[in-house]
Each structure stands twice: as C-alpha cells, then as structure tokens.
Structure 1
C-alpha cells in the first residue's frame, strides 16, 4: 500500500545508440505524428552537450528547439495526456536565451533547454494544482526554489506535466497517472498500460520526446518507477541536495524533486543546476560539474567505467520471471564489461514496510497543512477532505481518500512514539544499504526498477507492489533508474543505489551502465498488446 500511495564511446558525445524509429514512420516522422528532427538533430537521442554545441556555433537556436517541442506536444500529447499546459512565454524565454548565446553570455548547460515541471512544483505564472481542483484557482505567489534555479540557469520552462493526484497519497487503491485536472496519462509504449506514478506525466512526456528534460518528485518510487516503466532515466537525489521549498509535500523526511531525461548525461547536467553545481551551496557531496559548467567531469560515464566495479544484484523474484530474465541479461552484460556482480539481499525490508506508512501519515498531516496555508483554497487537510466530498469531478476515476482520512487521525509528529518509529525507520533503511555495500565491498546495488506496465483500470486501481525504491527513499540516499530492457513492448529499468551523498559517483556509474546496456528504444504508441505481461 505504501508504494501504491507513493509510489557511443563516451556519453559526452551522445546518448546510447538509437534503435529503429517507430514502425511505419518516415524519416523524422515517428508514430506520434510530429517531426522528431530540428535543424538536422534527432530529438529522441540528442543530448544537452550536443544541443549546446550547436547553439554555440549558431546552427541551432533555442527558439527552434522550443518550437519543435511545442509542435510535438500539440501533435503527440493528445495520445498520452502527459502535458497539462504549456507556458505561453516559452518562446520569449527561448528568444532571451538566443540573445545570450549570440553575445557569448550563455549561463551554462541548461541555457535555452526546454524543461517540463511536474505540476506539484510551484510556479508563480502558471497554475500549480497537484492534479486537484482544490488548487486550480490562482497560481502560487512565488516560484519554487528549484524553479528559481532553473530560470537563473536560462532554462526554458516549457510547461507543466500531469501527475498522479496529490502524488498518489490520497486513496488506498489509486490509479497512477490520473488526476481530476489532467485526466489519465497513458504509457507511450502501449497506450492502455499505466505510466506508473506519481511523476507519470514527466516520464511519459520524455518517452514521447515532448521535452528535453523534466522534473519529477519522489517520496518512495515516484521518480524511479515512472522512469523505468516509460523507458527513460530518473534520479532520486540524496535528501536535501535539491531544495523542497515550494513543492507540494508528502513528507519532509523523504520528499525530493529529481531530474528526469532520456539519457544519464542530461540527468546529471540538470542535477548540477538544481543543486547548485560547482559553486552552489546545496551540493555538499562534491561538484557534479567542474567550474566551467559546460562539460561533465573527465571520464564521466566512459565505456570502460565498469571495469573493476563491484555491483550487488538484488533480484526481487516477486516481480516475476520475465523481469528476472531482464536482470539476468543485465548482469551478463555488466560482467562482460568488467564488473563483478554478486547477488545480495538487503536486510530489514519487512520492518521498513511495517514502519514507513504510519510515519508518512503523521508527516503528511503536518506538511500539507503548512503548504495549504500558503495557497488560496482549502486551508488545511480537514478542509481538503471536505472539498473532495463536495466535488464529484474528484471521484470520476476513484472515489476514495482513505489516506487523507487516516492522516487526519494519525499521531502528531511531536508524539514520542512516532519519533521513535521514524528514527528506527531511518536507521534501518541506511543500514540496509550501508551494511550490504560494506559486506560485499560494493560500488552500488542494482535491482529491477519496475514490473512491465499493468493495464490501467480505475475500478481495480494500481498493481504496483515494487519494493526496490524503499531503502534509498527512506534512507535519503540516491537512486537512479536506467533502461535495462523490456518484456515484449514494455520497458523495464535497472535501479542503482549508493550510499549517502554519492550522487555524482552514481551518475557516472549509471552512464557507464547505460552505455553498456544500450536498452533505449522509441515508443510505438500501440493501442494495446496481445502479451499479458504486467497483468499479474
């Protein structure tokens, strides 16, 4: 229930080698129905360094890039419903970036790069709803801190992405990717399959090449599961590396925004902006970028970067034999690249599952009350519950708000018993990773990110008991999902975890894994599939 509730050469020269385009598509015309090329660049596989090199030599402008993504949104998004709204100032933002590039005053790797924001990240000039009609009135009074950082870096705020309403922390049996504001987001690979939640729109939009990068948020699984299920990359950073100010909360003890992209290099460059990069105060783990701000550190993600690395494989057979077969193939490829792969089972998982949900209930009550006090609409959780009862539109997919009601009755966070349980929870989560890595002398732990996507069904709800995200989520440690393969048409990711503040090293390792697995392929927007994969 917890997870359901939360739920070539160097990468510097390009993304993993592109697979065949969608079936039936002509040159530059994917199955989605809109051009996938701009100024001779393939949007599906272009990286930020490639785009910045073209902007620097004048053969590409941010206005061209932004316009191409806006046209793709208009043509493709009606199939998947990933984008709630575009920013009417996006082309003006792009024009300002182009002026900076012409003057030799570009602000860094994200200057002129289009970014979609999950719609629980505050923007003063666009509505921020968390998918709920309760917040669909006036926009917030100011930008979230991470949005300020993106604007200062010259990024183009392209618009807002749909999400699972209230980040999937409303009903006991929610349907991921659904919100009263945005309706149901579909998985671009097979449209009747689920995109996973809660950063569903962010991941689906990236899979469909509707933006260069996107921002998601996670309490437990809500960045990495959508990334895995939609065949893209998602990083849940170390807790505190990215400011949570101005992000609709579940729990300050676990919440973090994180970068998502179609490749690891773009994910790393986006983190450098969100966290402050080489000169920012929010990156105590060490610089993700060097001082010049345009290139990743020397050797980042090099093809031989797996040689001598020790990786622990946590198989999770509960996700089914098809997923386990993907992990077996993954381990074989990593060993062929020179890594040592040993099988592990992190301890304390049953106790983590027992403790996490009650703690989140108490924390949600505290944190959502504080957030709602900053917005027009319901002023606290009790008023929010009453709002939902009085608005039938909030009940069109599922009616329940059991988690809201349980949170209202949960012990306050000042309660000594709650405090003891949260302390135990954090301690065991950290030990589950630290002890496993120390015992086996590991550089990272790898596990399946997700099962094949299940069929979306409002009556049944989600089918997403996925325990791999919990240890890092509760510990506040980084985790990174990279495409690993597929079951039929449906993507499966490999989740990499590391110790406290090891974000930069994990991203570099992840880029090497991405290069070796070379698992990305374009979605085909199939209406359905004959395979029963995912219907467990």
Structure 2
C-alpha cells in the first residue's frame, strides 16, 4: 500500500494550555482534549519544514505560483511545509485518514517541468487534499467505513485524473463523516469508524455536556466534507462532495470559500455515492479564486457519468475571466426572507419554523449594507413560492427527505425517498464497478459486516439510514422514486429557486450561511459560500458554567439556477474583495 496513515491522533496531546483561538478572539482555553478512540498509527516519519522565506500559511494559489516563479520556493518545499504542519497539528485536529508517500516525488517532477519552461496552469505544484470517498490508487479510499479500511480501488476518480493533469499534487485524504453521513442520524459530523472524531480548528475541544461527552467536537465541523485541514493550512485546499450540504456547511463552519456546483458539471465516476440524483464533488479553499481554479480543473465531460456536459466549461479553464472586483455594481440580489431569515408556519402546523438568531440576523443586515454600498440592488423580500405555498402538497417545507427508522417503509408517505432509494441503487452499482477487488457484494453485505463488527466500533451510532435504504426494492419502488423525484424538482426548481429568480429578474439569491442546502440540493443547482464573520456557538442544552465557547464562523451564500457558476463566482469574488473577512484559526500559526 503506497500510503502512510495519518488519521485523528489526539492521543499524542498532553495537557498543553490553550487549545484554540476563536475566529475573532485570540484568547485560549486551559483544557486538553482526551485521546480519540480508534486512532490509527501516526505517519511513518516527521518531515521538518525547510528554511524558506515563503510560508504556506494563508497563502493563495497565486501567492504560491508567484513564489515558485520567482525561485523563493519550490513545489517540493511547499509539500515539505505542509507535511510538517500535518505532523505538528494533524493529530490534534483529526484532519486526515491518509497521507501520500509519493507527494514529494510528484513535486520533484513538477519542479523539473517548471524549470524546463512548462507550467500547466494555476494548480501546477499545488498540494491539495481529497475527501476520503474519492478514489485514489496510491492511497486508500475508505469512506470512513471499517469494512473498507485500507482498501485501494482499482481505478481513480475522473476528477483526480483531471486535477493531476492540471498539476495538482494529491497530498492527503481528509477525514469525513462516515459514508458522507449516510449511516445513522445520530452520528456527529466529522466522525467515522476508521479515524474517530475530527475537531474544528476555531475551537478544537470535545463537547463536555453530559450525553454529548463521547469525544465529539464542541464546535461543529459541519457536513461530511472536512474543512479542518484547509482552515488550519495543512494543505492548500481540498475537494469535498455534497448531497445535502456537505461542502457548504463545513466551509461555513471553517471560514472557507466553497463552490457547490451544478450536478453534472463534475464527473462522479470514482466517488462512493449516496444518490446520483443529488451527488456532486465541489472545491473548498480559503479564497474564491482558488475554489474557482479547482472547479475549472475538475469539470469535464465523462462517458462514465452521462450527466456530465450539461454546462459549458470555463473559457480560461480556471474562471479567471470571472474574477471581477466590481461585479456587484448593478447586480440584482434577492432576499428569500420567509423561513431563511424569518420564521414561517407551514400549512397545517401549529408552530413556526426557520429564521435566524439575533446575531445571524444582524450579520445579514451588515451584508446587505455592503452589497448596496457596492452598487447591488437588493430585492427584499424575494420569497421562494414553494416555501410559502398554502397548499400542503405544494409546500417545500413539508416534503423533506426520509432519514430515520420511523421513515422506513410504511412511514414514508410525507417525505422524499430520494436519498434512501438512491443509496441502495447507486451504492450497489459502485460496488459492482470495483470488480473482484470489491470488499463487499452489496449494501446488505455492508450492514451484515457492521453488525458482525459492532464490538470493534463499526456502528457506534447504529445504521438506521443504511437499514431504511436496504429495505428499498430498486425495481418495485422505481415508480415511487420517479414520483418523488418529479415533486422534488417541481418544488425546488419550477416553483422554487427558478420561480424566485424569474419573478424578480435576479442574478442570485442571498442565503445566510448554508441555509439553502435542502432546496438547493434537490434542485441540483449551484451555490458559492464566502466567509464573513462569526456568531456565538449556542448549544441546546447549554454548555456548563465556566466553559467559554468560541464563536462559530458565519458566511453567506450566493445561489443561482443551473450552470450559473460564472455569475456566482463574479458576485462571490466581488464580495470577498470588498470584505476580506477570512481569518485563520489563531491557535495553528
């Protein structure tokens, strides 16, 4: 196996003072986290950072390219610096499940190309990481599941081939919520059976509350695509995947920029699936320009994924033509106020749902003031018709996804079966694509493995979502899937996002943080999230007296219709340049 393990290793920590600094407050705590369960072995060797005038900390792709062009740093030295940071901070954060042992060799090859006058583009020699549900053939792809521990697939993902062709160096596989968070509803974000828990670098402490003190982080890491390593500068950027919020939420919670693309812009070939109806990979980075460059490198038409090719690619290959600092001037930005900003009471319900905290609402008012100052036209409200529909059958809020055991067969009349049906259909197809190397035959075999290895930690939080998926009959339930898919599309597109955009002639809708994730992912539409500020980390039940929680990063999302990434990049980049709000976690200098 051509990789060395480097998963969450909090057991190496001693009682060091001050484990984290907040996004905006550089004060420290006085308690060290306990050892993480099931931590795999440490990396084989520590790599010391070279003496260099260039530092990778908070460096953009452009910064790195300029430094390599000027001879201030080489790609090898970038890799060495990141390896040193992984060695220094990787255990504390639980950021990686594997680290490449060929990255230095690849860096040397790319340095030779540069010396010969060949530069492949903005990713040439840049070290990045991939979510560990994306196939690589020189590191394991486990999905965080014990059944796949150590498994190296027989082919690499199409997006990996594209990234490597663009000159990127795949440095590590990031931790994730097991199987992209389709195992059990009670599983904490960032936990998997292979590596244990991961921690948000803006407050990397375990939750001390009774009933929550199993090792999970007190500051949520977000969705299943880990952003902790990028936020702490363990690599330059990372690629996540999203089915329902798993790039947007971790990007928000780790003060990152991220692009959730239109489904079909990036090939899903070689990615462990939940459902092809909603799955997509997406870039996560510290800066919009870096995320855009990754998007340009990953997108392609692929015969192995027939959904691809629906959107025209970037003319430059990196969306550089859309990095316009003045793009907000004249832009029409809609505010979907009902539910996303202010609570609403769905038809037939006795209580309101949705809305923002006082701190979040105040932050969004500041955002709107900035947008107006930069020349944008704010249309408020620009409500989404399906969110405020009075007929229950037409109301988006009343047709969520089926998630838990009560929503198994017989209890799923009022929820969409998209995820549970798609997981049975597409997971089995993915296993079949592995040929004789597949560790398991099908989803049933995975559930059986998990039950047989429960004592070894295979299903610490159960497997309710796998159970309700496996009871689906791909053939017999096809008509129900088609009906639910059609309703999802109607409520999320025709009577949803598209309706709001068209009625008000909008360039984009503006959402707080990741709040659009449900309707957005059902539509398969794009969004770009940008860091902005921080808000209190308020938990229910509350934290014990004397435990001083650090603030949670809080960003904004621009959402558009299918294939609108170019315009969204313009808006997001202009907002980023107007605010420059990204702040690194001060505890990881």
What's the CA shift for 1:198?
0.6
What's the CA shift for 1:39?
4.0
User: Alpha carbons of 1:353 and 1:188: their partners in 2 closer, same or farther (altered >3 Å)?
Assistant: farther
What's the CA shift for 1:234?
1.2
Q: In structure 1, what is the equivalent of residue 498 of structure 2?
A: 434
Q: In structure 1, what is the equivalent of residue 465 of structure 2?
A: 403
TM-score normalised per structure 1: 0.83
Q: In structure 1, what is the equivalent of residue 559 of structure 2?
A: 497
Residue 424 in structure 1 maps to residue 487 in structure 2: yes
Q: In structure 2, what is the equivalent of residue 478 of structure 1?
A: 526
Q: In structure 2, what is the equivalent of residue 114 of structure 1?
A: 127
Q: Deviations 1:296-345 (Å, cap 9, x if unpaired)?
A: 11xx3333221111111235243422212211111111111111122322
Within-5 A mapping of 1:177-192: 177-191=190-204, 192=218
What's the CA shift for 1:492?
0.7
Q: In structure 2, what is the equivalent of residue 487 of structure 1?
A: 535
Q: In structure 2, what is the equivalent of residue 10 of structure 1?
A: none
Give the Cα–Cα distance (whole angstroms) in 1 for the partners of residues 85 and 421 of structure 2.
42
What's the CA shift for 1:21?
10
User: Alpha carbons of 1:36 and 1:263: their partners in 2 closer, same or farther (altered >3 Å)?
Assistant: farther
Give the Cα–Cα distance (whole angstroms) in 1 for the partners of residues 320 and 125 of structure 2.
18
Give the Cα–Cα distance (whole angstroms) in 2 for the partners of residues 311 and 396 of structure 1.
46
Candidates 74, 88, 106, aligned match of 1:75 = 88
Q: Deviations 1:47-97 (Å, cap 9, x if unpaired)?
A: 212221222232221001111111111101122111112100011111011
Residue 47 in structure 1 maps to residue 60 in structure 2: yes
Residue 301 in structure 1 maps to residue 323 in structure 2: yes
Q: In structure 1, what is the equivalent of residue 314 of structure 2?
A: 288
Give the Cα–Cα distance (whole angstroms) in 2 for the partners of residues 369 and 284 of structure 1.
26
SS at match of 1:371: helix
Stretches of structure 1 that go unaligned for 5 or more consecutive residues are: 1-18, 25-33, 451-466, 527-536
Within-5 A mapping of 1:70-109: 70-109=83-122
Give the Cα–Cα distance (whole angstroms) in 2 for the partners of residues 101 and 182 of structure 1.
37
CA contact (8 A) 1:443 1:498 kept: yes
Give the Cα–Cα distance (whole angstroms) in 1 for the partners of residues 203 and 455 of structure 2.
27
Give the Cα–Cα distance (whole angstroms) in 2 for the partners of residues 275 and 356 of structure 1.
28
CA contact (8 A) 2:396 2:492 kept: no
What's the CA shift for 1:137?
3.6
SS at match of 2:106: helix
CA contact (8 A) 2:454 2:460 kept: no
Candidates 109, 114, 134, aligned match of 2:147 = 134
Q: In structure 1, what is the equivalent of residue 426 of structure 2?
A: 367
Q: In structure 1, what is the equivalent of residue 336 of structure 2?
A: 314
CA contact (8 A) 2:98 2:172 kept: yes
Tell me the C-alpha RMSD between the 2 structures.
Answer: 2.5
Give the Cα–Cα distance (whole angstroms) in 1 for the partners of residues 452 and 250 of structure 2.
31
What's the CA shift for 1:493?
1.4
Q: Find the structure with the greater CA-based Rg.
A: 2
Q: In structure 2, what is the equivalent of residue 447 of structure 1?
A: 511
What's the CA shift for 1:378?
2.0
Give the Cα–Cα distance (whole angstroms) in 2 for the partners of residues 41 and 311 of structure 1.
39
CA contact (8 A) 2:128 2:172 kept: yes
Give the Cα–Cα distance (whole angstroms) in 2 for the partners of residues 485 and 294 of structure 1.
27
Give the Cα–Cα distance (whole angstroms) in 1 for the partners of residues 517 and 90 of structure 2.
28
CA contact (8 A) 1:388 1:394 kept: no
User: Alpha carbons of 1:524 and 1:314: their partners in 2 closer, same or farther (altered >3 Å)?
Assistant: farther
What's the CA shift for 1:525?
4.2
What's the CA shift for 1:211?
0.8
Count the aligned residue pairs.
474
User: Alpha carbons of 1:141 and 1:397: their partners in 2 closer, same or farther (altered >3 Å)?
Assistant: closer
Within-5 A mapping of 1:255-266: 255-266=279-290
Within-5 A mapping of 1:454-533: 467-488=515-536, 489-525=551-587
SS at match of 2:385: coil
Q: In structure 1, what is the equivalent of residue 239 of structure 2?
A: 215
SS at match of 2:320: coil
Stretches of structure 2 that go unaligned for 5 or more consecutive residues are: 1-22, 29-46, 205-217, 343-353, 388-394, 403-416, 537-550
